[in-house]
Structure 1
């Protein structure tokens, strides 16, 4: 059967084993690390090549730039005391038309969101709407809160 032989020669001896060798329980990660470093270098070299395209001199046309949808929505607010606030900046009513004309010349959209306090008389809101229309904004959106009363007096469901 499987017997072990021991050889002794001189002062030292070695033991020789026959049969199965003991299984290696450690995983050698050195080849894995080598492959990962090579891949890292390849991607570092290839990344700048992918981001830079083929150099092309584009032709010039008379067409304008495409409209961008990333414009900040233009909001005009009328506070409870009747003062006018453009985005976050308070302005006087005398400044309203010139400022809005200057903004209308720069913007591609002619939409404005009008937020008026509920206690403001309708005449004040109508005057501001007329000023906005005169400044070139013909799409005036009135901002309201959801859940108010409907025409029949019942409360609308809040969203």
Structure 2
């Protein structure tokens, strides 16, 4: 007789794994990630000024610290993939700690083109007081090139 029962009426152990619940869970996770991925916002929206300048050579193994100022005048620190909003007084302390640990770390400023020049200069002065030897300014390449 065929089937899970033998002649004595006992069941044979079933050697199949039911993967349907696993597939259901994976499809739900796929839908969740597809919905949330576009909502993640990386970085800060800054409209950089355009200039024709050569890129700065930085060592490959050192991530630069990028300090951004957006249109509203808020400050952000980006180190690697991590971007966080900071207050002006905390900015000096955090950048100073990073530069004190690794003095060769390059510090770059991303200032929105609509931010007042005085605010960018004040930011550079704050960075200089926190121990940064030189500050680089970021820009976009000119469109006419």
- TM class, shorter-length: 0.5 to 0.7
Q: Which runs of 5+ in 1 are unaligned?
A: 1-67, 149-156
Whether 1:132 aligns to 2:123 is no
What SS does structure 2 have at the residue aligned with 1:114? strand
Q: What's the TM-score once normalised by structure 2's chain length?
A: 0.53
Query: Is contact 1:77–1:114 with CA below 8 Å preserved after alignment?
Result: yes
Tell me whether 1:79 sits opposite 2:70 in the alignment: yes
Structure with the bigger RCO (C-alpha within 8 Å, sep 6+) is 2
Larger radius of gyration: 1
Q: Deviations over 1:108-146 (max 9, x none)?
A: 315211000000001100110001111111211100111
Give the Å deviation of 1:76.
0.7
Distance 1:82 1:103 in 2: 23
| Unmatched tracts of structure 2, length 5 or more | 1-58
Q: Structure 1: which 4+ aligned runs deviate by more than 4 Å?
A: none
Cα-Cα RMSD: 1.6
The within-5 A match list for 1:72-111 is 72-87=63-78, 88-111=83-106
Task: Find the counterpart in structure 2 of residue 44 from structure 1.
Answer: none
